[in-house]
Amino acid sequence: MPARKVAVEDVPEGMAAALAALRVRLGIPDDFPSEVLAAAAQAAPALPELDRTDLDLLTVDPEGSRDLDQALHIARHGDGYLISYAIADVAAFVPAGGPVDAEARRRGVTLYAPDRRTPLHPPALSEGAASLLPDQIRPALLWTLTVDAAGGLQATDVRRARVRSRAQLSYDQAQAEIDGGRPRETLALLAEVGPLRERQERDRGGVSLNLPEQEIRTGSGGWSLAYRSSLPVEGWNAQISLLTGMAAARLMLDAKIGIVRSVPPADGGSLRRLRSVAGGLHIRWAAEVSYPEFVRGLDASRPADAAMLDACTALFRGAGYQAFDGVVPDHPEHAALAAPYAHVTAPLRRRVDRYAGEICLALCAGAAVPDWVRSALSGLPAEMQAAERAAKAYERAIVDLMEVFVLRDRAGETFTGTVVDVDSDGRRGTVVLKDPAVEAQAVGTDLPLGREVRLRVASADVERGAVTFELV
């Protein structure tokens, strides 16, 4: 499931205290144990023999990022493209079974909040020695992907190499350079390859759900909450990561060893419920229009469409990981992407990527998969599921808390919203407001799923971190 993010311009003291209390309540890790920090500080791996510091790599990430997993270079290759995608080589810094590895197993993923990150690995690695920061020579897993003129994948290779990123760009900087008409080669070609990959996605019946970021703003009128839609370059950049993940899945499935990210198909009932929500939000969804085409027509800069995108996260339930060694799973596909897919491009922030990357390295080299990877495979799905459940609980609690701060002084006011989910007894459910950009719990009698309703703020409890609405 895609992540929901909240941005706050300046986190005030009261909100910071509430976020700190939330972390204590949910058991979010604080600092790293001293032995983990010491092991991270002492990590000094040898650089790979293959030297690809000649590649004019660059990174494109959110403003201020320091945990840089990916660096990209694109060149023309006949009438197609040659994509070089460097991924941080975490395994070079994190010996299996060591203190850093054990702590990463406990954490599973990096967690994000408006006031701080809770990283998977100590910052000395994730924001320092292992990060693909500009003008630094780094070990990396260098993926080489040959793509034809239509954006189709023709060949895949991955091997260890030393690399050096030339530039660190934010999404705004990258988009401005493209829009300015004189972008560097990689950005110019990303603006070609990205749309081609989006067309490939559409043709196979898939769709990427890019959730808008919720932004809390402060001003003379108090707090406000709005959605920020993503830039085109964010989607194009994501397509390179998706392409790499699909290439990795194909390698592993063909070799009958690996771990894939699988999502079962949506059932008819969930689609009908989603169509009801669209009606409640006054968004036209013609009977002949498929779910992927409907999603592609949404504009996250419009509050109703942003709310619809948020409601779409409930469609594909049951996302998980499937590990295999000798027998391929019966249903390894990622239904939303309409293709097999694996996580390999964010090893600094997600533990499973390190293992999948090592498998792909071995397969491309014709070598045996390392024992430390093979022995961990069977336990990885459950471990990652537990980590992701904790991350989503934290993510949801943060969103709820931010909405409390926006609405805590508005008890008794009425708003217009749409009921997007209802409990079996019809007395509790979830509503999405058009303005402000809020999703919250609602109580009433016979809550009408998919219908627009008038709601009143019943409570906005900072300590509990929840807003509750009641039907007017």
Segment 156-187, tens digit of pLDDT: 999 999 999 999 999 999 999 999 999 999 99
Question: What burial class does residue 31 get, using C-beta atoms within 10 Å of its C-beta: 0-12 exposed, 13-18 middle, 19+ buried?
Answer: exposed
Please check whether residue 274 lies inside any domain of the structure. Answer: no
Tell me, yes or no, whether 424 lies in a domain: no
pLDDT at 411: 78
CA distance 443 to 422: 10
State the Cα torsion 384-386-392-393 to the nearest 10°: -160
Q: Which helix (H) or strand (E) holds 65?
A: none
The three-state secondary structure class of 77 is strand
Tell me the pLDDT of the chain averaged across its residues: 90
Lowest pLDDT segment from 34-43, 88-97, 260-269, 365-374: 260-269
Question: Residue 372: pLDDT band by 50, 70, 90 thresholds?
Answer: very high
N-to-C CA span, the chain: 33
407-412 mean pLDDT:
81
Q: Which position has the token pair 């990427």?
A: 208
> What's the mean pLDDT in 88-112?
97
Question: What local confidence, expressed as pLDDT, does residue 215 receive?
Answer: 64
- Asked whether residue 190 is assigned to any structural domain, the reply reads yes
Average pLDDT rounded to a whole number, residues 306-327: 86
Task: Give the model's pLDDT for residue 420.
Answer: 79
Query: What is the pLDDT at residue 226?
Result: 63
More confident of the two residues 463 and 61: 61
Question: How far, in Å, are 71, 142, 289 from residue 348 at the CA level?
Answer: 13, 15, 39
What is the predicted pLDDT for the residue at 267?
82
Is the CB of residue 33 less than 8 Å from the CB of residue 103? yes
Mean pLDDT across 332-337 = 93
- Residue 371 clears pLDDT 50, i.e. is over it: yes
> How many other C-beta atoms can be found within 10 angstroms of the C-beta atom of residue 82?
16
Distance (Å, rounded) from C-alpha 307 to C-alpha 225?
13
Q: What per-residue confidence (pLDDT) applies to 217?
A: 60
Residue 209's CB is within 10 A of a number of other CB atoms, namely 16
> Residue 436: is the preceding peptide bond cis (ω within 30°)?
yes
Q: Cα(153)–Cα(146) distance, rounded to whole angstroms?
A: 6
- Asked if residue 1 has pLDDT above 50, the reply is no
What's the domain count of the chain? 1
Higher pLDDT, 33 or 313: 33
Question: Mind listing the pLDDT tens digit for each residue in 106-150?
Answer: 999 999 988 889 999 999 999 999 999 999 999 999 999 999 999
Per-residue confidence (pLDDT) for residue 8, from 0 to 100: 61
Tell me the mean pLDDT in the region 184-191: 98
Closest listed residue to residue 313, CA positions, set 358, 273, 340, 353: 273
| All residues at 6 or more sequence positions from 127 whose CB lies less than 8 Å from its CB, including other chains | 66, 67, 119
**Residue 221, pLDDT score:** 54
Instruction: Quote the CA–CA distance of 294 and 306 in Å, as a whole number.
Output: 13
**Does residue 440 fall inside a structural domain?**
no
b/e per residue, 91-109, with b = 16+ CB within 10 A? Answer: bbbbebebbbbebbbebbb
Q: What is the DSSP string of 42-63?
A: H--PPPPS-B-TTS-EEEEEST
Query: Distance (Å, rounded) from C-alpha 273 to C-alpha 429?
Result: 13
Tell me the C-alpha distance between 205 and 359, whole Å: 28
Could you give the 3-state DSSP secondary structure of residue 178? helix
The number of beta carbons lying within 10 Å of the beta carbon of residue 38 is 14
Q: Residue 64 falls within a domain, yes or no? A: yes
pLDDT recorded at residue 469: 87
- pLDDT surpassing 70 at residue 218: no
CA separation for the pair 427, 192 (Å, rounded): 50
Nearest Cα neighbor of 56 from 69, 41, 73, 78 is 73
Structural domain containing residue 126: 6-265+316-407
> Does residue 285 sit within a domain?
no
pLDDT beyond 90 at 459: no
- What is the spatial distance between Cα 309 and Cα 175, in angstroms, rounded to a whole number? 23
Confidence of residue 229 (pLDDT cuts 50, 70, 90): confident
Q: Which of 147-161, 393-407, 457-471 has the highest mean pLDDT?
A: 147-161
Instruction: Check if the beta carbon of residue 432 is closer than 8 Å to that of residue 310.
Output: yes
205 occurs within a structural domain = yes
Q: How confident is the model at residue 212 (pLDDT cuts 50, 70, 90)?
A: low
Per-residue pLDDT at 47 exceeds 50? yes
Per-residue pLDDT for 385 more than 70? Answer: yes
pLDDT over 70 percentage in the chain: 94
- 411-445 tens-digit pLDDT: 788 888 888 788 877 788 888 886 776 778 888 87
- Token pair, residue 91, equals 């395994």
CA–CA distances in Å: residue 322 to residues 1, 102, 221, 331: 16, 22, 50, 9
Residue 417 in any domain: the answer is no
Q: What is the pLDDT of residues 262-304, one digit of tens each?
A: 999 888 888 888 888 888 788 899 999 989 899 988 887 777 7
